Each structure stands twice: as structure tokens, then as C-alpha cells.
């Protein structure tokens, strides 16, 4: 049990700092944002499981298994003395594991509730202040001179453009912007961003959480850009991005994880439109997919191994 706890602790440390730091500085995610996004999700899930699992396995080590610890402790929480083999440090580890798991779960639920409330408010405002765009279903035009575009997810989705944006862009540029926003909705980017926003909110003192949220937000923008490039072309998308600038996508669903794109994000997105940047090869993609699977599998297998057998 102690060896498994040490393994999970070391794995959690790797996923808490050096691995995400290296990923955030790597250049290949810009070429393959989909698999990079999957890897970020695996790092977050694997890191959380490893951190909680390390505490859980260490706290349960006197009983030889997780089920043994449950059988020894749960019946005596209220009506009997704690078995003497469980010291203060073991009980503290179990309490911390339960508290951390509960904190993360409650923070995720609270973030989701706030996001849903914000989405409903946005839909109400859109219905009152905008008009349908002819020929574009679920697309609304807002009477505002600034060139802005954003989307509002939910059961009923909406893509919102301002009159200033419609007047500033030509047909191809406008098609690219609409395709970009609809990609966010179709690919459910708000759900991925919500999870990382909740992680950052739950651990605001954890520097890698902020880095992860920003990296995931940029990858979501790149995935939406790829849809726009297929619907229009690179030149139209580039012109639209330069015309709108870094403030043209205000992140109406920021409570669901959206991060307002800044100048650095815009520069990174523009750099991808260079013909010299090609998608990663199949070997790189396969390696990343396997790495993501291993990252999640390690804590799961370790916890299953300590569930009922004496280790």
C-alpha cells in the first residue's frame, strides 16, 4: 500500500507541474489541437485521481486495502473507538482525500450552475435586443457599432453578431466568423472549458491551473478556426481576425469557462494560418493518444489494485 501511495504521489507531482508546463510550452499542439486538448483533459483527470488516490491509499494502508479500511472505520465513525492501527496521520490523509474530492465536485457543480444561469440571462437579452439574421438559422444580429461575435451554448444555442461586424466584413469573412462560432457550439467547447475553469476556481493558488485554462481556451479557438478554414479559406479567416482584433470575441459564456482572447492568443491563431505549419503526423498523434490513455489508466489501475487485495 505504501509503495502504491508513493507511486501515485510521484505521478501526481509530475502531472501537477513539469508535464503541463512542458505541454504549455510545446509547439506541436498548435498543429494538432484536438489531440492536445484530449491530452490536457487526461492530465487534469489523471492528476486529480492521483492526488486524491495517494492520500486515500496512504490513509488506508494500516488495513491493507481500501475495502478493509472502509470496513474497519465506517462502522466506528460515530459509535466506537477508532482501531489503534490507524494513527493521526492516516486519519488526516483520509480526511484530506475526502475533503479534496468533495471540494472539487462542489466547485464543478457551482461553476455549472453559474454558467447555466448566465446562459439563460444571455438568451433573454438576445431575444429582447437582437433580430434573426436572414438565411442563417440560430444567428442573431445585435444593434451595436462595435465589431463583435460570440456564441451562447445550451439546449437552445445562438450565434450573435453585431451590426458593426456585419458591415465591416465581406461575405467570405462573415462566413468564416459564423463557422468559427458554430464550431464552438457543435464541438461543445463550453463543457471542456467549464471543467478547467472549475479546476482553476477550486485551486486558485495552483499556478498550473491558470496555465491549463488558458492553454485549453487557445486550443478551443484553434479548433474553431479549423472549421472556419474549411467553410471559407485561410485568407478570409485572417482578414476577419485582423478586422475584429483581440477584443472581437468577448466570451459571452465566460462563466462556463470562456476566456477572453487577448493579443497573444490572436498572434498564436494567426501564426497557424502560415502554410509552413502542417498537422502532426500519425505517429505523433498515436503517441499522444497512448500517453493520454496511460495518464488516466495509471491511477485507475493503482486504485483498483488496492481496492480489495492486501498490497
Residue 306, classified by CB atoms within 10 Å of its CB into exposed (0-12), middle (13-18) or buried (19+), is buried
Claim to verify: residue 264 and residue 136 sit in the same structural domain: yes
- List pLDDT tens digits, range 117-127: 999 999 999 99
Describe the strand order of the beta sheet including 149-152 as a list of residue ranges: 130-132, 139-142, 158-162, 149-152
Question: Is 105 a member of any domain?
Answer: no
Claim to verify: residue 229 and residue 286 sit in the same structural domain: no
The domain tally of the chain equals: 2
Claim to verify: residue 194 and residue 251 sit in the same structural domain: yes
Quote the domain boundaries for residue 270.
Answer: 121-280
DSSP of 186-220: HTTHHHHHHHHHHHHHH-TT-HHHHHHHHHHHHHH
Claim to verify: residue 249 and residue 290 sit in the same structural domain: no
Claim to verify: residue 76 and residue 138 sit in the same structural domain: no
Question: Is 101 a member of any domain?
Answer: no
Integer CA distances (angstroms), 4 to 65, 187, 282, 298, 306, in order: 11, 37, 34, 11, 8
Confidence of residue 207 (pLDDT cuts 50, 70, 90): confident
Claim to verify: residue 169 and residue 214 sit in the same structural domain: yes
Claim to verify: residue 15 and residue 153 sit in the same structural domain: no
- List pLDDT tens digits, range 262-311: 778 899 999 988 766 666 777 888 999 999 999 999 999 999 999 975 54
Question: Is 5 a member of any domain?
Answer: yes
Claim to verify: residue 236 and residue 304 sit in the same structural domain: no
The DSSP secondary-structure symbol of 127 reads H
Confidence of residue 150 (pLDDT cuts 50, 70, 90): very high
Claim to verify: residue 172 and residue 135 sit in the same structural domain: yes
Question: Is 60 a member of any domain?
Answer: yes
Q: What pTM was computed for the model?
A: 0.92
Claim to verify: residue 234 and residue 143 sit in the same structural domain: yes
Claim to verify: residue 161 and residue 271 sit in the same structural domain: yes
Residue 59 has phi, psi (to 5 degrees) of -65, -30
Task: Supply the pLDDT for residue 165.
Answer: 95
Amino acid at each position: 500500500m505504501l509503495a502504491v501511495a508513493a507511486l501515485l504521489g510521484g505521478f501526481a507531482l509530475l502531472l501537477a507541474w513539469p508535464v503541463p508546463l512542458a505541454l504549455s510550452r510545446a509547439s506541436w499542439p498548435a498543429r494538432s489541437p484536438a489531440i492536445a486538448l484530449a491530452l490536457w483533459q487526461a492530465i487534469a483527470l489523471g492528476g486529480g485521481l492521483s492526488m486524491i488516490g495517494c492520500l486515500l491509499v496512504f490513509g488506508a494502508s494500516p488495513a491493507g486495502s481500501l475495502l478493509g479500511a472502509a470496513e474497519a472505520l465506517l462502522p466506528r465513525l460515530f459509535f466506537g473507538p477508532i482501531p489503534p492501527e490507524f494513527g493521526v496521520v492516516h486519519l488526516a490523509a483520509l480526511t484530506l482525500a475526502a475533503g479534496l474530492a468533495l471540494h472539487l465536485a462542489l466547485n464543478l457543480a457551482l461553476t455549472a450552475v453559474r454558467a447555466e444561469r448566465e446562459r439563460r440571462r444571455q438568451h433573454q437579452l438576445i431575444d429582447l435586443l437582437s433580430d434573426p439574421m436572414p438565411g442563417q438559422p440560430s444567428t442573431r444580429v445585435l444593434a451595436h457599432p462595435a465589431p463583435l461575435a460570440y456564441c451562447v451554448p445550451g439546449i437552445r444555442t445562438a450565434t450573435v453578431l453585431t451590426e458593426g461586424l456585419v458591415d465591416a466584413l465581406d461575405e467570405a469573412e462573415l462566413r468564416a466568423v459564423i463557422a468559427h462560432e458554430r464550431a464552438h457550439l457543435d464541438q461543445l467547447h463550453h463543457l471542456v472549458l467549464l471543467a478547467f475553469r472549475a479546476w482553476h476556481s477550486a485551486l486558485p493558488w495552483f499556478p498550473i491551473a491558470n496555465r491549463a485554462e488558458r492553454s485549453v481556451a487557445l486550443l478551443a479557438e484553434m479548433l474553431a478556426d479549423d472549421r472556419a478554414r474549411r467553410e471559407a479559406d485561410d485568407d478570409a479567416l485572417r482578414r476577419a481576425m485582423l478586422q475584429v482584433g483581440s477584443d472581437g470575441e468577448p466570451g459571452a459564456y465566460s462563466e462556463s469557462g470562456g476566456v477572453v482572447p487577448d493579443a497573444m492568443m490572436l498572434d498564436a491563431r494567426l501564426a497557424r494560418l502560415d502554410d509552413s505549419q502542417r498537422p502532426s503526423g500519425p505517429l505523433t498523434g498515436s503517441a499522444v493518444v497512448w500517453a493520454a490513455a496511460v495518464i488516466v489508466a495509471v491511477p485507475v489501475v493503482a486504485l483498483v489494485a488496492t481496492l480489495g487485495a492486501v498490497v
